């Protein structure tokens, strides 16, 4: 493990981190070990976010650094087997709502925390959620929405999942600007979360990992 | 001799602005003819009540109440958002129905829906709206993106108007492509060479853009006329709109529609000095935007929707370094010109209250969404009027009794000592009308000091 690389990523020293990775690749380091360092650094970032020392600038920069490292390692990694994931989360912004900033942050945090996330995007119909649950077989479904219209659309989406006979095989979490427990109860979801770490915590509690 | 505007202090300017509101004029400049003596009395009582709540010098007669909706007035009247955006008569009729049904002390006008046809003419890409990416009954929504590239800060700072015209506007309005070809106006200096600057106006893409602008301008005027008539009529019925316009915190100017959320968050690490310098450049421009709007409309409240400074976006240090200084400068500039900054703390702002309480007393009014309102009262509320905190979830899903109980609690606590206006906390589309009624009626029945 390169402590130097882990620290450079975790402390947001982007140029140094990328320079180190390039040097390591040129020096024939094991790409999997480099990726492990990057994951370890993301764990630190996640913890600091959870503790309230890191916020969106750090999450977004960490995401950018990780993307660049993955790009550098891509030719090497293509030869390697897929990593084991904790479990599957299906996520999307409900029909009628096209906001995606919060959802994207949740997707990113779930991904770096080891979940296999399928993001359906924005303005996702009930039918699309139902079909994706059937195909993707997630343990957790996350519904996002920013507008008051989402209160009802989330409820209708969960009703549709129920009607398709799929409600018992998934845990459902909701999130977005105007969510609280009253809205959660109205929608029929199992829980709501105020931020990305809440989503990670819920997924971990439900799936493990 | 009476002092000129320039000689007045900020206090005197604010007072003069309120006095102007208390003797309203019609568009011809004559005294406004109210439809009844009661309407006139209600109008003046409402303004005085709001003035006292904002100034926190003396207690108002009772806690004022307002409703700050997004698309609710239209949906409640049984028309779609699409109809409200495209049929200005239906829009203003629905808004009038809304005001007469609920009778708030102040309102923000029918302009929230905006002119759909105008957006269509200019091929506005920054938003999706009914018929253009959103269903007829849904509100318009922003298409977030990176409309300003990371390397364009210097260009923006060198000449913001040139940058907006030649780079930003053609990206967000498809019909303004022709602007890309225009020369900077600051090159027009003397006779030698002056004509070269005007050559672009002979080119078909530029002429096409200007043809479209004439059409868009005519549509905007038609819509603005409808909005003005609506405000005028509601005033004669005793219901003032005292919002004069809007401006933004420089961090949100860059973070919302120029660099976008991701762009600005990365800039905090990758080019913090440029970000800070650009916000300094934008500060006087944002002050001018608010002051200009207040002068044009005669209404001193300048709305400031706040977004990327909320809890969870930035650390305390980042907030204090990047968000707060220029936001405060904009507010101070507005205050010096007699305006009343009306910032909306959208979402949660609990961690910022200690910082943002540093505003001059009696000069600002803050819409509070889901922040801890008691904590807000104990900090920001010492210096500023608080508006709101009845949540979208309660108005949508609660019962009238829930709303009555909550509004009573707000009046008993936040209302203590003045400086509070009952209202919803976030702009909303859907709600139970009986809950809105319960909010207004409880304020009126229970809010006497």
For chain A, the first-to-last Cα distance in angstroms comes to 22
Looking at the structure, do residues A103 and A190 belong to the same domain, yes or no? yes
Is B407 within the bounds of a domain? yes
Contact A175, A156 (CB under 8 A): no
Q: Report residue B127: phi and psi, to 5°.
A: -130, 155
Residue A204 tokens read as 């971990």
Q: Which of B143, B397, B430 sits opposite A182 (nearest CB)?
A: B397
Is A83 within the bounds of a domain? no
Is B181 within the bounds of a domain? no
Residue-averaged pLDDT of chain B: 96
Asked whether residue B150 carries a pLDDT value surpassing 90, the answer given is: yes
Mean pLDDT of B278-297: 97
B322-362 per-position pLDDT tens digit: 999 999 999 999 999 999 999 999 999 999 999 999 999 99
In this structure, what is the dihedral angle of CA atoms B252, B256, B427, A150, given to the nearest 10 degrees?
-140
Asked whether residue B13 carries a pLDDT value surpassing 80, the answer given is: yes
For residue A167, what pLDDT is reported?
Answer: 96
Nearest alpha-carbon partner for B250 in B262, B271, B263, B264: B264
Report the alpha-carbon distance of residue B440 to residue B449 in Å, rounded. Answer: 16
For residue A208, what pLDDT is reported?
Answer: 81
With vertex at residue B388, the alpha carbon angle to CA B382 and CA B394, rounded to the nearest 5 degrees, is: 140
Instruction: Answer whether A148 sits within 8 Å of B429, measured CB to CB.
Output: yes
Is B277 within the bounds of a domain? yes
Instruction: Answer whether A64 sits within 8 Å of B266, measured CB to CB.
Output: yes
Instruction: Answer whether A182 sits within 8 Å of B315, measured CB to CB.
Output: no
Report the alpha-carbon distance of residue B155 to residue B167 in Å, rounded. Answer: 10
Q: Give B173's strand partners.
A: B124
For residue A82, what pLDDT is reported?
Answer: 67
Name which of B269, B316, B432 to mutate to probe chain A: the one with the most chain A Cβ atoms within 10 A of its Cβ. B269
Number of domains composing chain B = 1
Is A124 within the bounds of a domain? yes
Looking at the structure, do residues A122 and A30 belong to the same domain, yes or no? no
Is B129 within the bounds of a domain? no
Read out DSSP for B1-66?
-PPPGGGS-HHHHHHHHHHHHHS-B-TTSSBP--SSHHHHHHHHHHHHHHHHHHH-SS--SB--BB
Name which of A51, A66, A148 to mutate to probe chain B: the one with the most chain B Cβ atoms within 10 A of its Cβ. A148
For residue A102, what pLDDT is reported?
Answer: 86
Is A42 within the bounds of a domain? yes
Name which of A45, A49, A55 to mutate to probe chain B: the one with the most chain B Cβ atoms within 10 A of its Cβ. A55
Contact B383, B359 (CB under 8 A): yes
Contact B447, B422 (CB under 8 A): yes
Q: Chain B contacts of A99, Cβ < 8 Å? A: 141
Q: Chain B contacts of A64, Cβ < 8 Å? A: 266
Structure-token match 């006292």, residue found? B52
Instruction: Answer whether A98 sits within 8 Å of B133, measured CB to CB.
Output: yes
Q: Which domain holds residue B347?
A: 5-113+223-446
Number of domains composing chain A = 2
Read out DSSP for B227-289?
HHHHHHHHHHTT--B-EEEE---HHHIIIIIISHHHHHHHHHHH-HHHHHHHHHHHHHHHHHH
CA B236 to chain centre: 23
Using 50, 70 and 90 to split pLDDT, how confident is the model at B105? very high
Looking at the structure, do residues A99 and A56 belong to the same domain, yes or no? no
Strands B133-134, A116-119: pairing kind: unpaired
Contact A99, A147 (CB under 8 A): yes
For residue A81, what pLDDT is reported?
Answer: 65
The pTM of the full predicted model, rounded to 2 decimals, is 0.93
Q: Give A88's strand partners.
A: A116
- The H or E element spanning position A6 is helix A3-10
How far is the alpha carbon of A102 from chain B, nearest alpha carbon, in Å?
Answer: 10
B219-274 per-position pLDDT tens digit: 999 999 999 999 999 999 999 998 999 999 999 999 999 999 999 999 999 999 99
Looking at the structure, do residues A168 and A201 belong to the same domain, yes or no? yes
Looking at the structure, do residues A61 and A102 belong to the same domain, yes or no? no
Name which of B76, B126, B130, B268 to mutate to probe chain A: the one with the most chain A Cβ atoms within 10 A of its Cβ. B268
For residue A105, what pLDDT is reported?
Answer: 87
- Answer with the one of A77, A98, A133 that is the final residue of a domain: A77
Report the alpha-carbon distance of residue B397 to residue B430 in Å, rounded. Answer: 10
For residue B192, what pLDDT is reported?
Answer: 92
A3-10 vs A14-26: helix crossing angle, rounded to 10: 150
Is A105 within the bounds of a domain? yes
The CATH number given to whatever domain includes residue B392 is 3.20.20.210
Is A82 within the bounds of a domain? no
Q: Which of B266, B392, B398 sits opposite A178 (nearest CB)?
A: B392
Q: Which domain holds residue A52?
A: 3-77
SS3 B106: strand
Is B86 within the bounds of a domain? yes
Is B147 within the bounds of a domain? no
- Answer with the one of A77, A97, A127 that is the final residue of a domain: A77
Question: For residue A182, what is the nearest residue in chain B, using CA coordinates?
Answer: B393
For residue B184, what pLDDT is reported?
Answer: 95
ipTM of the complex: 0.91
The reply to whether B262 touches chain A by the CB within 8 Å rule is yes
Q: Chain B contacts of A45, Cβ < 8 Å? A: none
Residue B193 tokens read as 């060479």
Is A131 within the bounds of a domain? yes
Below-70 pLDDT ranges, chain A: 80-83, 209
CA B162 to chain centre: 25
The CATH number given to whatever domain includes residue A72 is 1.10.1240.10
CA A96 to chain centre: 22
Nearest alpha-carbon partner for A94 in A125, A48, A73, A69: A125
Contact A154, B146 (CB under 8 A): no
The CATH number given to whatever domain includes residue A116 is 3.40.50.280
SS3 A24: helix
- Measured in residues, chain A has a length of 209
For residue B262, what pLDDT is reported?
Answer: 94
Looking at the structure, do residues A71 and A92 belong to the same domain, yes or no? no
Report the alpha-carbon distance of residue B142 to residue A4 in Å, rounded. Answer: 41
B20-34 per-position pLDDT tens digit: 999 999 888 899 999
Looking at the structure, do residues A116 and A41 belong to the same domain, yes or no? no
For residue A172, what pLDDT is reported?
Answer: 97
Starting at the earlier edge strand, list the strands of the sheet with B141-142: B133-134, B127-130, B141-142
- Answer with the one of A52, A77, A102 that is the final residue of a domain: A77
Instruction: Answer whether A12 sits within 8 Å of B428, measured CB to CB.
Output: no
Is B172 within the bounds of a domain? no
DSSP 3-state percent helix, strand, coil across chain B (nearest 5)? 60, 10, 30
Structure-token match 């096209």, residue found? A98
Is B196 within the bounds of a domain? no
**Chain A residues with CB-CB distance to B under 8 A?**
12, 14, 53-57, 59-61, 64, 96-101, 147-149, 151-152, 177-180, 182-183, 186, 194-195
Alpha carbon separation from B257 to B119, B300, B421 (Å, rounded): 16, 26, 31
Residue B224 tokens read as 């603005």
Looking at the structure, do residues A115 and A195 belong to the same domain, yes or no? yes
Q: Report residue B84: phi and psi, to 5°.
A: -65, -30
Looking at the structure, do residues A20 and A59 belong to the same domain, yes or no? yes
For residue A80, what pLDDT is reported?
Answer: 67
Instruction: Answer whether B138 sits within 8 Å of A183, measured CB to CB.
Output: no
Report the alpha-carbon distance of residue B267 to residue B213 in Å, rounded. Answer: 34
The reply to whether B371 touches chain A by the CB within 8 Å rule is no
Instruction: Answer whether B393 sits within 8 Å of A56, measured CB to CB.
Output: no
Q: Report residue A86: phi and psi, to 5°.
A: -65, -40
């Amino acid at each position: 493990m390169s402590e130097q690389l882990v620290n450079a990523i975790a402390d947001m020293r982007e140029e140094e981190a990328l320079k180190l990775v390039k040097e390591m690749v040129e020096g024939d380091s094991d790409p999997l070990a480099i990726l492990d360092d990057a994951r370890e650094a993301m764990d630190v970032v996640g913890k600091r976010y959870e503790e309230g020392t890191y916020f969106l600038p750090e999450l977004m920069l960490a995401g950018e650094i990780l993307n660049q490292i993955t790009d550098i390692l891509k030719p090497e990694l293509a030869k390697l087997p897929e990593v084991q994931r904790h479990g599957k989360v299906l996520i999307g912004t409900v029909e009628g709502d096209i906001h995606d900033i919060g959802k994207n942050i949740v997707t990113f945090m779930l991904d770096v925390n080891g979940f296999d996330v399928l993001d359906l995007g924005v303005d996702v119909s009930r039918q699309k959620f139902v079909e994706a649950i059937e195909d993707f077989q997630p343990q957790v479904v996350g519904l996002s929405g920013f507008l008051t219209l989402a209160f009802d659309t989330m409820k209708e989406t969960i009703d549709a999942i129920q009607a398709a006979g799929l409600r018992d095989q998934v845990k459902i979490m909701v999130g977005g600007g105007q969510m609280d427990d009253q809205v959660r109860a109205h929608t029929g979801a199992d829980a709501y979360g105020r931020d990305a770490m809440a989503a990670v915590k819920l997924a971990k509690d439900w799936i493990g990992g | 001799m009476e002092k000129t505007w320039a000689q007045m202090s900020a206090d005197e300017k604010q007072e003069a602005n309120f006095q102007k509101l208390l003797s309203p004029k019609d568009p011809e400049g004559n005294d406004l003819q109210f439809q009844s003596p009661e309407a006139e009395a209600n109008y003046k009582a409402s303004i005085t009540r709001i003035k006292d709540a904002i100034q926190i010098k003396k207690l108002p007669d009772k806690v004022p109440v307002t409703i700050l909706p997004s698309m609710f007035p239209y949906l409640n009247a049984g028309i779609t958002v699409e109809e409200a955006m495209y049929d200005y008569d239906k829009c203003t009729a629905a808004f009038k129905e809304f005001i007469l049904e609920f009778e708030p002390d102040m309102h923000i006008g029918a302009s929230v829906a905006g002119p759909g046809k105008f957006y269509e003419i200019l091929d506005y890409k920054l938003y999706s709206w009914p018929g253009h990416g959103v269903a007829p009954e849904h509100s318009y929504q922003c298409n977030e993106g990176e409309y300003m590239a990371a390397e364009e800060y210097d260009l923006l700072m060198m000449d913001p108007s040139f940058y907006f015209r030649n780079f930003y506007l053609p990206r967000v309005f498809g019909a303004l492509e022709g602007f890309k070809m225009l020369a900077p106006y600051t090159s027009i200096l003397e006779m030698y060479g002056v004509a070269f600057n005007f050559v672009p106006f002979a080119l078909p893409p530029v002429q096409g853009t200007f043809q479209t602008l004439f059409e868009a301008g005519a549509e905007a005027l038609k819509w603005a006329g409808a909005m003005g008539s609506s405000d005028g009529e509601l005033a004669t019925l005793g219901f003032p709109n005292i919002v004069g316009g809007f401006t933004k915190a420089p961090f949100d100017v860059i973070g919302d529609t120029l660099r976008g959320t991701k762009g600005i968050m990365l800039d905090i690490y990758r080019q913090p000095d440029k970000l800070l310098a650009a916000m300094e450049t934008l500060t006087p421009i944002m002050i001018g935007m608010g002051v200009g709007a207040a002068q044009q409309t005669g209404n001193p409240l300048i709305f400031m929707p706040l977004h990327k400074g909320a809890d969870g976006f930035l650390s305390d240090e980042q907030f204090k370094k990047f968000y707060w200084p220029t936001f405060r400068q904009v507010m101070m500039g507005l205050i010096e010109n007699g305006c009343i900054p009306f910032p909306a703390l959208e979402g949660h702002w609990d961690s910022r209250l200690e910082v943002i309480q540093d505003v001059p007393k009696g000069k600002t009014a803050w819409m509070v969404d889901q922040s801890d309102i008691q904590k807000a009262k104990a900090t920001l509320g010492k210096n500023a009027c608080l508006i709101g905190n009845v949540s979208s979830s309660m108005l949508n899903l609660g019962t009238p009794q829930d709303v009555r109980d909550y509004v009573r609690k707000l009046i008993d606590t936040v209302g203590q000592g003045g400086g509070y206006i009952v209202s919803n906390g976030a702009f909303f589309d859907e709600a139970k009308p009986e809950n809105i009624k319960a909010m207004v009626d409880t304020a009126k029945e229970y809010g006497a000091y």
